[in-house]
Amino acid sequence: MATLRFQALADVMKRAPKMVSLPSLKVSDYYGEMVFDKEAMAKYLSKEAYKAVISAMEKNQPIDRKVADSIASGMKAWAVERGATHYTHWFQPLTDGTAEKHDGFIDFGDNGNIIEAFSGKLLAQQEPDASSFPSGGIRQTFEARGYTAWDVSSPAFVVGTTLCVPTVFISYTGEALDYKTPLLKALAAVDKAAVGVCQYFDKNVTKVHANLGWEQEYFLIDTALYQARPDLVLTGRTLMGHSSSKDQQLDDHYFGSIPERASQFMIELEIEAHKLGIPVKTRHNEVAPNQFEVAPIFEEANLANDHNQLIMDVMKRVARHHNFEILFHEKPFAGINGSGKHNNWSLGTNTGVNLLAPGKNPKGNLQFLTFLTNVMAAVYKNQDLLRASILTTSNSHRLGANEAPPAIISIFLGSQISSMLQNLAEKITDQKMTPEEKTALKLGIGRIPEILLDNTDRNRTSPFAFTGNRFEFRAVGSSSNNAAALTALNAALAVQLNEFKADVDALIAKGVKKDEAIFQMIKKLYLESKAVHFDGDGYSQEWVEEAARRGLTNITSVPESLMKYLDPASKKSLVESGVMTEKELEARVEVELEKYTMKIQIEARVLGDLAINHIVPTAIRYQTSLISNVQGMRDLFPEGEYNELAGARLELIKEISGHISSIKSKVHDMIEARKECNVIEDAKDKAFAYEQKVRPFLEDIRSHIDKLELIVDDEMWPLPKYRELLFTR
């Protein structure tokens, strides 16, 4: 009997929403109370220490040891008041999620008494025993140790009883072993390159920062049902399950009110997030049943990404208070909408200008068009790099599936911007412009703000959409660390902007006026990269064909896509910009390839086990009951009547036999295929072998199991079904 499944269902039926008690204070009163932000620093640090942190944050100035001691001591006093007993360096290794190793503040004082201690040295640098984090061979080859170092640009915070210090994680020889280090370098690269270009327009621009506003999608599944699905527990997705008779056709979840249990979860989540200084603002249902979204107000990209990593942990923790598990997997249910993490990205200057928003006058608009076309060019030249940065094992189920951005990277601009760029390209000539021509051009671009006001076409099928004052990189997966995508994007743009500046300078050196040189380069970039611009339905088959005609790449294989990291174009963006060394890049690709192999390996094992231990025995039990039923009929009825009556049952018995035999032989073949792959040493060859020889079995075996689910007596079926996972509340 399928007891676990029915027990779980009974548990869910009994659940009442766990009501959250609302804080008596206003949000603004408790917002950031667990963050060692500027306000806390001003209160807990000496003037000298405060100044040192601020100039480290803003000007990258190093902090000397004595001052570090004093900062650590102030930080500790602040944290202890908030209940902290431990501290940790919080970092983002190349696995999924964040890592921490907690140490107590507890120490012996001079007289052997117990004190709370935290020194500048411990704040600034630590050596976690990191040999088990993936490093793509860097640490084995060079130096066994890795260390974490304080990222001053992201404030420390207290979670539970632990003071968390955001850090980078690098090998002893200086190579990045995490997601944060290359992101910080890419942000610095785009800062420098963008400032260079901004100087054409405004000499007061000395700093350009990237902004990120993420939109995190997720599923909530009842803990009891989740626990009854070993595939969800071990792989994050359902490896089997026939689609429910009703799923998302009616769109009733998207427009419906948030179910009470989920709503209580969200209320608690928001309170926790706000205490941690995460500016969560939006919550709503998503398209699929039990699918939701949370989004904050955008922030500087490094901080925003730390906040995204942090909130993913907070979400898991808060969900359990409400008997939910969070699914961050991009495609937990076949045939149902997947989850993404849209990255709203823009560039802002120290003078308060958004470089991806139309300006207030022709000069501002020329600057806007400069950045817009440089983004176009960067995306066009780096399609493969951008895809490599987002196409993970789990996201590969979402991309290219019919309700998600395809594995073709294109840009949506909207009709107004597109036709304006097209017009400009036609009007701009290489000849010296007459004053009238210049005025006409400037008048043309002077009208952008007006026309954008009625730019309401919001394309939801583009992987990279311009939305009026920012780009929305929609292809990023819900479970991933945004840093990979943001590193690729900002590094690519940095290299592109440097090239643009060199070209404009060369024209100026030849005697072309600055404005004209910029106009000419805008035209050149637009015409060169036009192929990447597509405003139509990105989910359609016509686009797949059209993109192929335009020479855009369309890669759905994860290993193939990952190898594109090593193409000359990608290396140009990542290595030339100083974001990664070639060695770091190669190590990173190796880590990602190994992750791919391991994930497919785990899925194959879990599916094999479930098929043989859960599904086949269940099918046999049901088949046995059919057989004894048929045998009974043969005893009961005269032969003629029996033949007439038993036909359908005999068919069913045969059908079940067919599926059982297929499952058994395919699981066997899958195990053999794994054995063949497992002896391969090279990470690349192994990932490709897993992709080609093992992965196809997953779908194949599943299809037999899903058919059995339709035939076998519901009472015997051991695993919660799609309708139960998606609709039981």
Give the residues lining the site for ligand ADP (CB under 6 A): 211, 213, 215, 282, 295-298, 344-346, 354, 469-470
CA gap 444, 441 in Å, rounded: 5
For the purposes of burial, counting CB atoms within 10 Å of the CB of 470, is it exposed (0-12), middle (13-18) or buried (19 or more)? buried
Pairing of strands 299-300, 341-349: unpaired
CA distance 86 to 657: 59
Closest approach, Cβ 304 to Mg ion, in A, equals 14
The minimum distance between CB 247 and ligand ADP, in angstroms, equals: 23
Contact letters for Mg ion, residues 307-346 (x by CB under 5 A)? -----------------------------------x----
> Min. distance of Cβ 566 from ligand ADP in angstroms?
31
Q: Which is it for the CA torsion 416, 422, 428, 434, positive or negative?
A: negative
Instruction: Report, in Å, the least distance between residue 464 CB and Mg ion.
Output: 12
Nearer to Mg ion, 306 or 472 (CB): 472
Residue 153 or 469 with smaller CB distance to ligand ADP? 469
Amino acid at 43: K
Taking residue 271's Cβ as centre, other Cβ atoms within 10 Å add up to: 18
b/e code 320-338 from CB counts within 10 Å (16+ = b): eebbbbbbbbbbbbbbbbb
- Phi, psi of 157, deg, nearest 5: -150, 160
As measured in angstroms, the least distance from the Cβ of 562 to Mg ion is: 27
CB of 281 to ligand ADP, least distance (A): 7
Q: Which is nearer to Mg ion, 342 or 614 (CB)?
A: 342
Nearer to ligand ADP, 332 or 340 (CB): 340
- Residue 139 binding target from ligand ADP, Mg ion, none, CB below 5 to 8 Å by type: none
Q: Which is nearer to ligand ADP, 213 or 236 (CB)?
A: 213
Closest-CA residue to 474 (of 276, 295, 221): 295
Token pair of 525 as six digits:
């970039």
Q: What is the dihedral of CA 267, 273, 279, 283, to 10 degrees?
A: -30
Q: How far is the CB of 96 from ligand ADP (least distance, A)?
A: 22
Angstrom CA distances, 165 to 126, 217, 652, stand at 11, 27, 62
Q: Which is nearer to ligand ADP, 344 or 728 (CB)?
A: 344
Query: How far is the C-alpha of 699 from the C-alpha of 481, rounded, in Å?
Result: 27
- Looking at beta carbons only, is 49 or 280 nearer to Mg ion? 280
| Helix residue ranges per DSSP H, 82-179 | 120-124, 138-141
Residue with token string 């039923």: 629
Residue (6 or 254) nearer to Mg ion, CB: 254
Contact 340, 330 (CB under 8 A): yes
Identity (one letter) of the amino acid at 574?
L
Q: Taking the complex as a whole, how short is the minimal distance between the CB of residue 470 and ligand ADP, in angstroms?
A: 4
Whether residue 395 contacts residue 480, with contact meaning beta carbons closer than 8 Å, is answered with yes
Least gap, CB of 338 to Mg ion (angstroms): 16
Q: Which does 277 bind (CB under 5 to 8 A by kind): ligand ADP, Mg ion, none?
A: none
Q: Which does 365 bind (CB under 5 to 8 A by kind): ligand ADP, Mg ion, none?
A: none
User: What is each CA distance from 548 to 254, 552, 565, 587, in whole angstroms?
Assistant: 34, 6, 21, 31
Which of ligand ADP, Mg ion, none sits in contact with 161, Cβ below 5 to 8 A by type? Answer: none
**Min dist. Cβ of residue 211 to ligand ADP (A):** 4
With H, G, I as helix, E, B as strand and everything else as coil, classify residue 292: strand
Per the listing, tokens 């009842």 go with: 222
Hey, which residues between 339 and 398 contact Mg ion (CB under 5 A)? 342
- Terminal alpha carbon distance of the chain: 23
Q: For the chain, how big is the Rg over CA atoms in Å?
A: 29
Q: Of the two residues 473 and 622, which places its CB atom closer to Mg ion in the complex? A: 473
* Cβ-closest position to ligand ADP: 213
Q: How many CB atoms lie within 10 A of CB 92?
A: 24
CB of 355 to ligand ADP, least distance (A): 10
The token pair at 645 is: 């009556």
Smallest gap from Cβ 210 to Mg ion, in A, equals: 17
Binding residues for Mg ion, rule CB under 5 A, total 1
* Nearest residue to Mg ion, by Cβ distance, number only: 342
Q: Is 201 or 298 the residue whose CB approaches ligand ADP more closely?
A: 298
Closest CA to 309 of 470, 122, 567, 482: 482
Q: Choose the contact partner of 346 out of ligand ADP, Mg ion, none; CB within 5 to 8 A by kind.
A: ligand ADP
Interacting positions 585-644 with Mg ion (CB under 5 A): none
The whole-angstrom separation of Cα 590 and Cα 135 is: 8
Q: Which is nearer to ligand ADP, 328 or 345 (CB)?
A: 345
**CA 269 from centre of chain:** 19
> Of ligand ADP, Mg ion, none, which one sits near residue 295, judging by CB under 5 to 8 A according to partner kind?
ligand ADP
469 binds, among Mg ion, ligand ADP, none (CB under 5 to 8 A by kind): ligand ADP
Which neighbouring-strand residues pair with 533? 411
Number of residues assigned to the chain: 729
Question: Which of ligand ADP, Mg ion, none does residue 199 bind (CB under 5 to 8 Å by kind)?
Answer: none
Q: What is the 3-state secondary structure (H, E, C) of 183-246?
A: HHHHHHHHHHHHHHHHCCCCCCCCCEEEEEEEEEEEEEEEHHHHHCCHHHHHHCCCCCCCCCCC
Nearer to ligand ADP by Cβ, of 31 and 133: the residue is 31
470's contact among ligand ADP, Mg ion, none, with CB below 5 to 8 A by partner kind, is ligand ADP
| Of residues 308 and 382, the one with the C-beta less far from ligand ADP | 308
Residue 394 beta carbon to ligand ADP: minimum distance, rounded to whole angstroms: 22
Site residues, Mg ion (CB under 5 A): 342
